[in-house]
Chains A and B, each alone.
Chain A
Amino acid sequence: MSMTTLVKEKLGIVPLVEGGKTYKQVTEEILKPTDSFPTSLWWKAFILALTVTIVDLGIIGYLCYEGLWILGVNNPVGWGFFIVNFVFWIGIGHAGTLISAVLFLFRQGWRTGINRAAEAMTIFAVLTAATTLIIHIGRPWLGFWLFPYPNGRGPMWVNFRSPLIWDTFAVSTYLSISLVFWYIGLVPDIAALRDRSTHKVKKMIYSAMSLGWVGSNRAWSHYEIVCMLLAALSTPLVLSVHTIVSFDFAVSILPGWHTTILPPYFVAGAIFSGFAMVVTLMVIAREVFNLKQFITLKHLENMNKVIMVTGLMVGYAYGSEFFIAWYSGNEYEGFAFVNRAFGPYAWAYWIMISCNVLTPQVFWFESNRRNIKVMFIVSIFVNIGMWFERFVIVMTTHRDFLPSNWALYIPTFYDFAMLIGTFGIFFTLFLLFCRVLPVIAIAEVKTVMVQKEGVKH
């Protein structure tokens, strides 16, 4: 990149879409994957993901048939990989909402390049998380009891004091709002797809999905208002969902869980991990679908900045947790943290620290922030680190109050299989999404394009 472009970019006068494209070109290029036969790379990835998903579904069936004993969970550690996976995936989702809602409200033009994919990621991540949550319970076929619905048992209500009920509400609200927001955003683009489709069935489906979008001024103005309202509705969710997930731990009485720092710490962690996941996905997507001119280095650099900031926040939380554990003088709390760092799961703790606190420090340097290889590796490390953060937290129960209860959690083959399985489900959905829907919000990206002489449209 030449010096002048860099300066221009710093001054905010460099286009967010490169290559001096026309609107038609934009539409053509973004929708290309939806009406051309998928590349062999896509097929390979999809078949792999689908295989993992099918195996995972088989294992879920086996788990429902046999019971939870096939996993590693035991008496002190009642929650194992499944809850780790749940918190991990819910956390991933947060970046999507942040990008699409918060950055929308803050009028961050650069978000348009990535928001669609990030939102899709949110939905798929929440779906994946919800799946793990349901199958981890002892009698999954009765999972619907967690919803307060009118029933003939008295009626028997749920226990509104339980954080798991808050979770149920939080996750289902999150899923529904994200889904609606995403879909509303998709409507104009689906209409574009409809208009381009030549295949009869395809056209029919897209027609139904586009809800009769005609692109009139009236429609556009409604569209803008709905998007803004939904963005405003989603914004608190960025904070609330992971706060409530953190309540699962913070509301308990266990040393190491019962801490007030958990809600902000979880939110920061969620954004941290979510952005890392977006970077991972975007780096892949821009390569695979040749979208380098839409998802530019500027987008990625911005996200890397977010990763670094939230990484610092997470690091601060780790330190502060430790400090408070010592400063409070609570022996149990103190021990729980010393045990985290030096106990049987110390390796997980140090993986977490090195991945989450140390790795993002490379983003202090601009050259690293703009280096695809570096950011890809860092984002993977952050994903690993954040998974281990949740692992470290969930493992807290292995040594709590009475030393006689202490025992280790040793995951089994099925735990690992299900962990891999969650990635299978996620990527299957994501790859399907890339095939049938535009990965970049065409309508929105056009609003930030610089046409010819730098005139904003």
Chain B
Amino acid sequence: MSEIKNFQEEKKSHWQSFESKDNKELKQLQNQEFYTSPDPVINRIKTGDYDRKTFLKLMGASSLMMTANCIPQKPEKIVPYVEKPDFMVPGLANYYASSCAGCNAGCGLLVKTKDGRPLKLEGNPSHPLNKGSICATGQASILNLYDPDRAQSPKKINGGMVDDISWKDLDSAIGKALTENSGKTRILTSQINSPTTKKIIDEFLSKVGGGKHYQIDLTGPEEAIAIAADKSYGKASVPNYRFDKAKVILSLDADFLGTWISPVEFTRQFSSRRDLGKKENFNTLISVDTMPSVTSSNAEIRIPVRPSDLRAVALLVAKKISELGGNSYGQLNDINVDSLSKDLEINPQTISKVAKLLWDARGESLVVGGGTSSQTEEAVDLQIAVNLLNSMLDNDGKAVDHQAGRVGNYSSSSDLKKLDEDLSSGDVGVIFLYNVNPIYQIPDSAGWKGLLSKAKLVVSLNDRVDETTLSANYLAPSNHFLESWGDRETVDGVVSIQQPTIQPLYPTRSFEDSLISWAGGEISGVKSYYEYLKGVYTKTSTSGWIEFLKTGFISKGDLTGNRSSRGFKGSIEKFTSKKDELSLVLYTTVPLGDGTHANNPVLQELPDPVTKVTWDNFVAISPDQAKKRNLKSNDVVKVTIGASGQDITLPIQIQPGLNKNTIAIALGYGRTSVGKVGNGVGKNSYNLSTYSNGKLVLSGQSAEITGTGKTYKLATTQDHHMMNPGNNPLGLKYKDRALIITTSLDEFTTNPRSKTEAADPEFPLLNKTSSKVKPGHDYPVRTKISNIDGQEYNESRGFNPDYDYTKGAGYRWGLSVDLTLCTGCSACMVACQVENNVPVVGRDEVRVGREMHWIRIDRYYIGDESKPESIEIGHQPVMCQHCENAPCETVCPVAATVHGSEGTNDMVYNRCVGTRYCSNNCPYKVRRFNWMEHWRDGKDFARSPRQLSFNPEVTVRARGVMEKCTFCSSRIAEKKIRAKNEGRKLRDGELKTACQETCPTDAIYFGNTNDKEATVTKKFNDPRNYRILDFLNVRPQVAYLTRVRNYTKESV
């Protein structure tokens, strides 16, 4: 054996062959950075050194390639059903009754499906809770189904690395872990309001040798209400509230029209008492709030306070009521109204007035309180004060329905506390997490991540690889609720079905089916959750099950009757006011809620009803504080929590209506692992909360802000203007523009036309009095109106002498918006967006003012600019006004926007060249231009499979064309065809626009104004009727009804 030499050490030169050694060209090539051996053919082409044969070869190859590219695309064939299912007519929609899982309210749904695809959610009109309406979140939740960022297969997660695995491997791994850790299983879920799911969880736990099921809800008010009920009445329960039974409502920061417990149900009840046909029933809402909300927008009296003072206001009112004769149950002795109200800087007269209003309506009033923004250390004490007030006012058992109450296991904090103990003792085998995201919600400083890792195996059943799933070992992705079976009981006695409307889009599995597989493939002898659920409801009768599927719900209990009152036996803790300079409020917004739906682009772009900010959270600060600290909107500040030292850096927005000692930040933002849309939008303000004993203290902490000198432009859809367009150095004063016309109930009673004349300042000049106007309500109207061509306006012809709207089919569409009823909840905006394929444009485009919403809700602050705390907030939905004398139509050079035969203003997309003259000339600025190809695949908001959610009846607009509200022309066509086939005219109310259908207050009415009996015609003839910018003589076919508020004499 020869000696092994180390050539490297000997520094001998390395070479390949004799030839290459002295080849300069090769050396040069070798020294190049990207050296590859030169292809002989290409090299020859480069040097021009090729022979005739090579040339012919190349020619042949290239011509072959060229011809090969020209092979026509294979035609696709559309195959009809060989055996068509009875219920399926291609192109016609089927509706399935289901229920909404967007939040815990459990509204009944009708799911519109077409050719097997769910396309739109509508409220189930016969459902006793929501009665045909759903909220913005509900409307948008269909888009979560088509979310490309949902987990598309089961995953194995190892230290942040996510790998796909098969269900088989997942099931065997979990099965093994379950047998190894028998009896130590934990299931952590959100509030489960499905009785059958609860049942199957219990059965599952007993099959795997025992374990515990914990339910948490870190932001809802229910737990505090339940604990307070226990302390006040001896039994933990959450009552349901009957706002329809209350004439006077005091809300202590409960945003029941926006985000609190069951907003749609409550909005329906609330608005039922705002019917001006029954003026004596008209309710009064007093809102004591920390952050202006939808509820405070609709209040007659608003008291902005800091979160820690809410209870004091309750106690002050209670004390005043006791002075008026209310039973104080031996409490309130240490309350001194004068000194306390001075301490809180609240006018004691306001308190007296509120107390008087409530006391006068005793037995017919309601006090509600609590919520995310008032989830302070004293959350339970606040609820006890609320209970005291309700008992004093004799509301318990009436508007506070403690029998048909809200269902749920409301012990979130004790559940979570127990879980923490289990985890820290290392006593947890397999932990299943379903529909919860504690790692996102619990502040990092609480160290919950470390706690979770003490479990032997962590299995997430969420629908995506979210923050919590990243700390799990496996993800067994659950279906969207439109893909799975289920039931839901949110109010005692009202059970709703949840029907799947599509096969799961991805290989995902419902939570319950997963449990069945892990329990050995069957539970109670059945192998699927569908059979299990069906078994539960067919126990009594099979027809019952079919009926259940058809109606969508079973309502057993009495939801309207009065109950006996419970005796109040709680005790009121002493109140000491905190004198923080700045008190923090963490609140949930209508669009984003607690952050679950953060990957939903429509919700991210839905402007908050009050702040009108999209795509970010921010620090809301009062104008006083901003002035004091020399801050402007969009300045970036650092908010530091005194106690915990946690901080967050966010831009500020100056928010009128906020208490001057309060700053507010929205929750639900700053997700880091929710998907491409929601990741990194805003900052996670949960980190500012304090976590202890299974509970988050969100609000009421002392905070300090420091400027950073940076700015960040928030994407708002509206600037912050009062109705009055501001000051000028010339000192010229301008009247408020008559857009939202507000009048008081008293004024309305004496003059139903009160203030509507403000909408048309030119009317009095023309000075023609109509004989139809009642004496005493003299109101000059024009009798002769003509357009620019001198053609006179005629009721049946409009301005066109050659066309009669009453001839032929005789339809002429009109829409009425009742501003007395509209709460500003924004459900219509999302409904419209889903119905009409309206694109989402993203933060940058909203910043420059290019949002595409066909219907928007204008928010105006009403009141004295110099007293920003006392402002009122008005909402006004504005969509295309379908002017009879439309300014857009005359200016379009290519006649792409024209007048329809039924009085609508139509847009011809494929004729539009995009001059945008129509939009400039639109006084309402409701036209929306496609500045870019919004639906180009690959954009974050348009990634596949989002296109599956398109409404096939509505054109998807291309870049460079104008679009706008069409009065849901596709719906008009659909219903008209049906009526025609049945040989009749459309009935009033048969046809609803998307915005109208979902409106929880029925503020929007659409119909045929040629029909004298139609509701919309009646609304048009209502004395409250007015049209915005009427003096322009554009004759809009959308009219508004004045906003009537039940101001008591003193408050006007």
Task: Using CB atoms and an 8 Å cutoff, list the residues of chain A in contact with chain B.
Answer: 66-69, 72-79, 136-139, 142-143, 145-146, 156-159, 161-165, 168, 248, 251-254, 326, 331, 334-335, 338-339, 341-342, 397, 399-407, 410
User: Once the chains bind, are B732 and A156 in contact (CB under 8 Å)?
Assistant: no
Whether A139 lies near B912 (C-beta < 8 A) is: yes
The CA of A178 and the CA of B328, in the complex, are separated in Å by 92
Q: Please encode chain B, from 910 to 943, with 1 for each CB lying within 8 Å of some chain A CB and 0 for all others.
A: 0111111101110111011111110000000000
Q: A146, A163, A252, A335: which contacts B725 (Cβ < 8 A)?
A: A335
Q: Is the interface of B mostly helix, strand, loop or mixed?
A: loop
- Cβ contact within 8 Å between B719 and A406: yes
Give CA–CA (A401, B921) in the complex, Å.
11
Least Cβ–Cβ distance between A275 and chain B, in angstroms: 30
Docked CA distance A225–B728 (Å): 58
Q: For residue A339, which residues in chain B have a CB less than 8 angstroms away from its CB?
A: 725, 728
Interface assignment of B1032: CB less than 8 Å from any CB of chain A: yes
Interface size on B, residues (CB 8 A): 61
Contacts A145-B913, A403-B860, A404-B859 hold; do A78 and B721 have CB atoms under 8 A apart?
A: no
Cα distance, A164 to B917, chains bound together (Å)? 8
A142-B913, A326-B732 known, 20 other contacts, Cβ within 8 Å: A69-B845, A73-B916, A79-B916, A137-B913, A138-B915, A139-B913, A139-B960, A145-B911, A159-B892, A163-B891, A163-B917, A164-B891, A253-B887, A253-B1034, A254-B923, A331-B761, A338-B732, A342-B729, A402-B739, A406-B719
Q: How far is the CA of A397 from the CA of B849 in the complex (A)?
A: 13
Cα(A78)–Cα(B675), bound, Å = 34
Expressed in whole angstroms, the Cα–Cα distance for A158 and B916 within the complex equals 16
B729, B920, B928, B931 interface centre (most CB from chain A within 10 Å): B920
Q: Is the CB of A138 within 8 A of B858?
A: no
Q: Is the CB of A162 within 8 A of B892?
A: yes
Are B920 and A338 within 8 A (Cβ)?
no
Q: Which secondary structure dominates where chain A touches chain B? A: loop
Q: Given A69-B850, A78-B917, A402-B925, verify A138-B895 contact (CB < 8 Å).
A: no
Q: A138 and B916 in contact (CB under 8 A), knowing A146-B894, A400-B923, A404-B858? A: yes
B931 lies within 8 A of A69 (CB): yes
Specify which chain A residues have a CB less than 8 angstroms from the CB of B858 in the assembled complex.
402, 404
A selection of 22 A-B contacts at a CB cut-off of 8 Å is A66-B932, A68-B932, A69-B845, A73-B931, A74-B848, A75-B850, A75-B851, A75-B927, A78-B916, A79-B920, A137-B916, A139-B959, A139-B961, A146-B913, A159-B890, A159-B893, A252-B920, A331-B734, A399-B725, A402-B925, A403-B721, A404-B878
Contacts of B719 in A (CB 8 A): 403, 406-407
Residue of A68, A339, A400, A402 with most chain B CB atoms under a 10 A cut-off: A402
On whether the beta carbons of A401 and B917 are closer than 8 Å, the reply is no
Identify A138's interface contact among B848, B959, B1029, B1034, CB under 8 A: B959
Contacts of A405 in B (CB 8 A): 924-925
Does B895 contact A156, Cβ atoms closer than 8 Å? yes
| Cα of A403 to Cα of B726 in the assembled complex, Å | 10
Q: In the complex where A67-B960, A338-B732 touch, is A78 in contact with B929 (Cβ < 8 A)?
A: yes
Complex Cα gap A30–B914 (Å): 47
Tell whether B737 is near chain A: CB-to-CB under 8 Å: yes
> Pick the contact of A161 from B890, B928, B929 — CB < 8 Å?
B890
**A410 CA / B849 CA spacing, docked (Å):** 10
Q: How far is the CA of A24 from the CA of B848 in the complex (A)?
A: 62
- With known contacts A69-B932, A158-B894, A331-B735, A143–B848 Cβ distance under 8 A: no
Q: When the two chains form their complex, are residues A157 and B848 in contact, meaning their CB atoms are under 8 A apart?
A: no
**Interface 0/1 of B145-165, CB less than 8 Å to A:** 000000000000000000000
The answer on a CB contact under 8 Å between A338 and B728 is yes
| Cβ-closest chain A residue relative to B887 | A253
Provide the residues of chain A in CB contact with B891, threshold 8 Å: 161-164, 251-252
Residue pair B920, A397 in contact (C-beta under 8 Å):
yes
Which residue of B723, B892, B895, B921 contacts A403 across the interface (Cβ within 8 Å)? Answer: B723
Inter-subunit contact A67/B959 (CB<8 Å): yes
Q: Which of B850-893 contact A (CB under 8 A)?
A: 850-851, 856, 858-860, 876, 878, 887, 890-893
| CB-based nearest A residue for B737 | A403
Whole-angstrom CA separation of A338 from B726 in the bound complex: 10
Contacts of B181 on A, CB cut-off 8 Å? none
Q: A254 — which chain B residues lie within 8 A by C-beta?
A: 920-921, 923
The distance in angstroms between the C-alpha atoms of A338 and B917, with both chains bound, is: 24
Residues of B within 8 A of A341 (CB): 728
In the complex, the chain A residue whose C-beta lies closest to that of B895 is A159
Binary per-residue interface labels of chain B (696-732) against chain A in the complex, 1 for a CB within 8 Å, 0 otherwise = 0000000000000000000000110111010011101
Of all chain B residues, the one with the shortest Cβ separation from A76 is B925
Asked whether A253 lies within 8 Å of B923 as measured between CB atoms, the reply is yes
Q: Chain A residue with minimal CB distance to B739?
A: A402
| Min CB gap A147→B, angstroms | 10
> Is the pair B914, A137 in contact by a Cβ cutoff of 8 Å?
yes
- Complex interface: chain A residues within 8 A of B915 (CB): 136-138, 164
Query: A407 to B919, alpha carbons, bound, how many Å?
Result: 14
Residues of chain A within 8 A of B892, CB atoms compared? 159, 162
> In the assembled complex, which residues on chain A have CB atoms less than 8 Å from the CB atom of B848?
72, 74, 410
Q: Which residues of A contact B914 (CB under 8 A)?
A: 68, 137-139
Most buried by A among B735, B927, B931, B1034: B931
| Residue from B739, B913, B1034 whose CB has the most chain A CB atoms within 10 Å | B913
Shortest beta-carbon contacts, A-B, top 9: A138-B914, A138-B960, A78-B916, A74-B849, A404-B858, A164-B893, A69-B931, A139-B960, A405-B925
Question: Which of B719, B860, B876 is most buried by chain A, counting CB atoms within 10 A of its CB?
Answer: B719
A338 and B933 alpha carbons, distance in the complex (Å): 38
Q: Is the CB of B761 within 8 A of A138?
A: no
Given the complex, which residues of B lie within 8 Å of A139, measured CB to CB? Answer: 912-914, 959-961
Per the bound structure, the CA–CA distance linking A142 and B909 in Å amounts to: 13
Asked if B921 and A402 make an inter-chain contact with CB atoms under 8 angstroms apart, the answer reads no
Inter-chain contacts of B734 with A (CB < 8 A): 331, 334-335
Residues of B within 8 A of A158 (CB): 893-895
**Most chain B CB within a 10 A radius of its CB, from A142, A159, A404:** A404
Q: How far is the CA of A20 from the CA of B722 in the complex (A)?
A: 72
1/0 per residue, CB under 8 A from A, across B592-636: the answer is 000000000000000000000000000000000000000000000
Report Cα–Cα, A326/B933, bound state, in Å: 44
Residue of A nearest to B936 (CB): A67
Query: Nearest residue in A to B926 (C-beta to C-beta)?
Result: A405
Chain B residue with the shortest CB-CB distance to A139: B960
CA distance A338 to B761 in the complex (A): 20
Contact of A252 among B718, B761, B894, B921 (CB under 8 A): B921
Chain A residues closer than 8 Å to B925, beta-carbon distance: 75-76, 400-402, 405
CB–CB A76/B849 < 8 A: yes
Q: Is the CB of A75 within 8 A of B928?
A: yes
Chain B contacts of A404 at CB under 8 A?
A: 718, 721, 856, 858-860, 876, 878
* Bound CA span A338–B850, Å: 26
A157 pairs with B895, CB closer than 8 A: yes
CA distance A350 to B721 in the complex (A): 24
- CB neighbours of B961 from chain A (8 A): 138-139
Residues of chain A within 8 A of B1034, CB atoms compared? 253
Contacts of B1028 in A (CB 8 A): 402
- In the complex, the chain A residue whose C-beta lies closest to that of B920 is A78
Shortest Cβ gap from A186 to chain B (Å): 34
Q: State the CA gap A146–B930 with chains docked (Å).
A: 20
How far, in Å, is A166 (CB) from chain B's closest CB? Answer: 9
Q: Which of chain A's residues have a CB closer than 8 A to the CB of B924? A: 401-402, 405
